[in-house]
Amino acid sequence: MQQQNILNSYISEVFLSIQGEGKYVGARQLFIRFSGCGVNCNGCDTDYNRKESFEFLGKKFFNPVDIKELSTFIKSSNILKEIHSISFTGGEPLLNDHSIEFIIDFLGDSTKYFLETNGFYLDRLEKIYKKLDIVSIDIKLNSTFDIRSNVEDLKNANFIEHKKSYFKLVIDKNINHDEIKSVIEMLKIKKFYEIYLHFKNNLIEFNLLDAIMKIFYSNSINVYYVPQTHKLMGFR
């Protein structure tokens, strides 16, 4: 796991684009992609490796990035009124929870704050949860990524509220009935009655999707299939 200093973080890229997944698909956001993850998903397609530098709106930033310098630049660039929200993404952004907190405190109510997390660093999420406006939480299944599932952890995370959070589930053809059952049980315990479903790499199998959707709906959970639109459209 990467080390961090309070006001310095390794950032892979900062860019303006359109949200391609989950409930807010289509929203124009400022993405801050932190380096590092701490989970080793089989088939991860995100480039969250450390880079020497990156460019944003014509300015070059060198890693580890001075978070105050980045926040000041974002504030002065005048882009906050042209976006839906700032998306903290990764990798796993919660490995840099102090930097996220600093950015939110620095920029204040000039925009909304959106976090995309893999759902494994729940203690860190709890610490900054109140400051965030929207939290997209991945449900990770062993069958899809060959890692430990986080469904049991999520069951016990009582601070997660429906009004600001939603769950995203990426599946592939290896999903099994017990996993679906455990996800439904977790959602019911938390009183969440909707979920956003993606197929890994957009390799959709319609009959499987249809069967899974039927199971969710028959358990009173609204499930929405969303293709990973940024991949379809060639966005970042």
User: What is d(CA 141, CA 223) in angstroms, rounded to the nearest whole number?
Assistant: 17
The CA-based angle 111-112-114, given to 5 degrees, is 140
Task: Based on the shown chain and the rule CB under 6 A, indicate whether residue 204 belongs to the binding site for ligand SF4.
Answer: no
Contacting ligand SF4 (CB under 6 A), which of 11, 14, 27, 37?
A: 37
Would you list the DSSP string of 155-219?
Answer: HT-TT--TTTEEEEEEE-TT--HHHHHHHHHHHHHHT--EEEEEEGGG---HHHHHHHHHHHHHT
- Whole-number minimum distance, CB 43 to ligand SF4, in Å? 8
User: What is d(CA 15, CA 33) in angstroms, rounded to the nearest whole number?
Assistant: 9
- Whole-number minimum distance, CB 183 to ligand SF4, in Å? 17
Of the candidate spans 4-12, 22-30, 33-41, 70-78, the one that interacts with ligand SF4 by CB under 6 A turns out to be 33-41
Q: Decide whether 64 or 90 has the Cβ nearer to ligand SF4.
A: 90
Q: Decide whether 40 or 78 has the Cβ nearer to ligand SF4.
A: 40
Q: Decide whether 48 or 56 has the Cβ nearer to ligand SF4.
A: 48
In the window 101-140, what residues touch ligand SF4 (CB under 6 A)? 118
Q: Decide whether 190 or 198 has the Cβ nearer to ligand SF4.
A: 198
- Whole-number minimum distance, CB 136 to ligand SF4, in Å? 12
Tell me 23's DSSP state. Answer: T
Q: Decide whether 16 or 41 has the Cβ nearer to ligand SF4.
A: 41
Give the type of residue at 32. Answer: I
- Whole-number minimum distance, CB 25 to ligand SF4, in Å? 18
Tell me 128's DSSP state. Answer: H
Helices (H), the chain: 67-77, 97-107, 122-128, 142-145, 151-155, 177-190, 206-218, 229-233
Q: How many CB atoms lie within 10 A of CB 76?
A: 8
Q: Decide whether 37 or 171 has the Cβ nearer to ligand SF4.
A: 37
- Residue pair 170/143 in contact (Cβ under 8 Å)? The answer is no
Q: How far apart are the first and last CA of the chain?
A: 25
- Residue pair 56/33 in contact (Cβ under 8 Å)? The answer is no
Of the candidate spans 35-43, 51-59, 104-112, 161-169, the one that interacts with ligand SF4 by CB under 6 A turns out to be 35-43
Q: Decide whether 15 or 73 has the Cβ nearer to ligand SF4.
A: 15
In the window 38-97, what residues touch ligand SF4 (CB under 6 A)? 39-41, 44, 46, 48, 90-92
Q: What is the contact surface with ligand SF4 in residues (CB under 6 A)?
A: 37, 39-41, 44, 46, 48, 90-92, 118
